[in-house]
Structure 1
């Protein structure tokens, strides 16, 4: 495990130049100076205060934020999640010390920061997710304002805490006929050619024809929170591990509050395994040819009755299937239980889907199906090629000088060509291809600009290790390494079919 962490650290260093180059694609705003100016802009600021408490004229600290009537259910739900986590720990590991600070075996996130006047959520990035227009075509997908919890009373370089709050907006107001999806897509893509930096860039983005000009509080759809709830340092008795809690809160326009909601495609493993009837219903629904095909393409929208309202995921997890993966156990082959899906179920379903509509793009085996079960979920995706449990920790916008941080994860950066391809199609009035590959490996798009990089098949890339004897798994057979590299085992599990590309 420690060896894999070293590999990941080196991989992030290699990814940094690619990340900086890709900031110019127009689909993410990561310039620290521009973000500072956007957060505090006098007439069109994008700080949480302006969007959630318009009467306020200064940045809103955590204590005031969670005291807002709209945010009180968010705080209550987070408190409940912490209480559940502690109760579960005390039930299963009563002798392992848990609490806030380095004197504990398991170090908890400091909940006091959520009610502190000396901490606040700082705008850390703005991300175009018009590639999600398949969810709600009329609103052209989503725009995400990402805020990072930061201690603001701690000198010239305030420490950032392991928690993000994403304010997810509909990309276009349904009632605004002045701009179309094609217009909006063009505005974002045009911003790639902007040469300004800092406050000047912010002004350009907010001009009447800029990509941020139309953003208002009326477009708010939901809040997504992600926090490192616990950190387990390496010791003689435990491996290094961090646990991440994710929740989603949709805005209830009638109550004018954010309410906890089922998380998109966060399959509720525990309920499905405990309730045989519910498990059978999920199996039958997902294996139906039409649903299996959208599951393969990564555009499936699983009914809420099968979903959870929170996700608890751990990193690092390694490449081999394990109980740390959110959907481990749903396949009968995972353990001693019956599971929900047998390999025969999956093989038969694949044959039916192929006979009705041709070959699938990604899932071509039970192993591919099992991998998609995990990476389609919020928790499973955030375990894969993330920076800890985050895909967008964002740049440090309050530091007095650049800290050399990487704003986004390898998964985020590797997905940019696919997202750009979709936004370009929208701009050009063409039907976008919304499909996506597995989270471990970017989908091949366009001119294959990622070839040879750590993001696709270069040093440190995820790859497939076929068995010396037998037929290669068709779901992963294309996961090869660039010339001069070979797919090698990572960690102690020699049986894992997934490895990393290293020098021969």
Structure 2
């Protein structure tokens, strides 16, 4: 099975997941989102209430606070072009047909015929471990859309996430109250404008949300696409950046991306690489790394993620942490013996949940990054594509989110329930490939867990499983099989025997 066949298999797996996105900690009703955008949650209302809504991109990127965002995206385009031409000097890259690599038309970013449309609202109170006083985050996700599309597909491959604190530290509302509102809303039976009204009602989860809660903007853009040809495989590159809002100036400034390891610097600067190794292998940090709640110091981080898809399962230079484990030539940052010793030391403070081998450690190194997470079980390079709230008729059964998003819902819900009940939440998470066992009963036999198309781990020639992936098995009637060019990789997919 070729890689594009694996992608096709993934799309088939998505079909039964559509209903699961509804009724969860997200708003994905197209007509409700249209009503919410029109009333309070459009980008104009959130970023420039003095301007008429909706706001087109020419006016959006002319806002003083957004000028640094446009500048950083322009710089990233310039660097991408220079880097691509250096790596593939004979390859033609440009806009439109006739090129080997098709580049995103950056003129669309500031076009008056294009704007960001609200495509979803997602509860991320499971991120409260970063800043407990704000109860986590709420994300307003906007999709770049043509407003004069004609016969051209209107939705463009870019999202802008407006990330808000779930509440401000000095607000009287409690995390328990917010959690209760969101859990109640997941059972609302209304649709369309009626649902929007209930969400914004005085006791609804969106009642108190406003622009004062904005923390940052996250962008994800399909910067280039290479179609499959006789000489090259299909590949798409996604550019990701983060811009935090300065309280004093209201400007959005480019900042290091959370846990986005700067691989090139760590490999080029031996002293920095050693410092990162020593920091991460310290028992307390390694336990947080195992739980998925680690926060790397900014000195080790990059301001840009360039995530490629598909990357396959075998180790590849396209993966963010590739090369950090020492290879046969002695290059890298972490040796297997260092990792084994550090895992044993960290386990003295309590059993590790996910990382129990060098292979699990290496997997988490990529998995914990922004780019690495988006390469895993995504729809292309996105985990939440959202719905088309401008469509004349919403497509029934359309999937607004990836298997990773759907598989993570039981964990997120358990955290919000704990917050509602005044209990200490378990913020840990498993690998992005497989949901944590706390959701195993709900997701059993599903493609996000152990059903057809699920990610799994194959035994070696002696029938042994790596300890980090012992639970990555397939449901009855299925077996873990290699995929395409990744035949040497122990990671595969569950298919009929």
TM category, shorter? over 0.9
> Following TM superposition, by how much is the alpha carbon of 1:338 offset from its aligned partner in structure 2, in angstroms?
1.6
Superposed structure 1 runs of 4+ greater than 2 Å apart: 2-19, 155-158, 402-405
Change (3 A) 1:156 1:39: farther
Choose which of 244, 248, 256 in structure 1 pairs with 2:250.
Answer: 256
Instruction: Provide Cα deviations, 1:417-453, integer angstroms capped at 9, x if missing partner.
Output: 0000000000011110000000011101156200001
SS in 2 for 1:17: helix
Residues 392 and 408, structure 1, Cα contact 8 Å, conserved in 2: yes
1:120 aligns with: 115
Point out where structure 1 has 5 or more consecutive residues left out of the alignment.
Answer: none
Are 2:3 and 1:9 equivalent residues in the alignment? no
| Cα distance in 2 between the residues matched to 1:31 and 1:470 | 47
| Cα distance in 2 between the residues matched to 1:189 and 1:358 | 32
> Following TM superposition, by how much is the alpha carbon of 1:110 offset from its aligned partner in structure 2, in angstroms?
0.8
1:98 aligns with: 93
Residues 143 and 156, structure 2, Cα contact 8 Å, conserved in 1: yes
Choose which of 479, 489, 501 in structure 1 pairs with 2:482.
Answer: 489
Within-5 A mapping of 1:290-369:
290-333=284-327, 336=329, 338-355=331-348, 357-369=349-361
2:381 aligns with: 389
Point out where structure 2 has 5 or more consecutive residues left out of the alignment.
Answer: none
> Following TM superposition, by how much is the alpha carbon of 1:494 offset from its aligned partner in structure 2, in angstroms?
2.3
Residues 393 and 407, structure 1, Cα contact 8 Å, conserved in 2: yes
> Following TM superposition, by how much is the alpha carbon of 1:341 offset from its aligned partner in structure 2, in angstroms?
0.3
1:66 aligns with: 61
1:429 aligns with: 422
Residues 37 and 199, structure 1, Cα contact 8 Å, conserved in 2: yes
Residues 156 and 399, structure 1, Cα contact 8 Å, conserved in 2: no
| Cα distance in 2 between the residues matched to 1:234 and 1:68 | 39
Choose which of 203, 210, 218 in structure 1 pairs with 2:212.
Answer: 218
Are 2:237 and 1:243 equivalent residues in the alignment? yes
TM-score by length of 1: 0.96
Choose which of 258, 263, 266 in structure 2 pairs with 1:272.
Answer: 266
SS in 2 for 1:82: helix
| Cα distance in 2 between the residues matched to 1:481 and 1:340 | 34
Residues 250 and 258, structure 1, Cα contact 8 Å, conserved in 2: yes
TM-score by length of 2: 0.98
1:207 aligns with: 201
Residues 396 and 405, structure 1, Cα contact 8 Å, conserved in 2: no
Instruction: Provide Cα deviations, 1:52-111, integer angstroms capped at 9, x if missing partner.
Output: 001113200011100000000000000000000001112121211001112210000110
| Cα distance in 1 between the residues matched to 2:356 and 2:42 | 45
SS in 1 for 2:186: helix
Residues 163 and 225, structure 1, Cα contact 8 Å, conserved in 2: yes
| Cα distance in 1 between the residues matched to 2:52 and 2:319 | 44
| Cα distance in 2 between the residues matched to 1:318 and 1:158 | 28
Residues 421 and 446, structure 1, Cα contact 8 Å, conserved in 2: no
User: How many residues of Structure 1 are paired with residues of Structure 2 in the alignment?
Assistant: 496
Choose which of 413, 423, 438 in structure 2 pairs with 1:420.
Answer: 413
Instruction: Provide Cα deviations, 1:296-334, integer angstroms capped at 9, x if missing partner.
Output: 00000110000000100100010011111011010013x
Change (3 A) 1:141 1:58: same
1:182 aligns with: 176
- Aligned residues: CA RMSD: 1.3
> Following TM superposition, by how much is the alpha carbon of 1:7 offset from its aligned partner in structure 2, in angstroms?
3.2
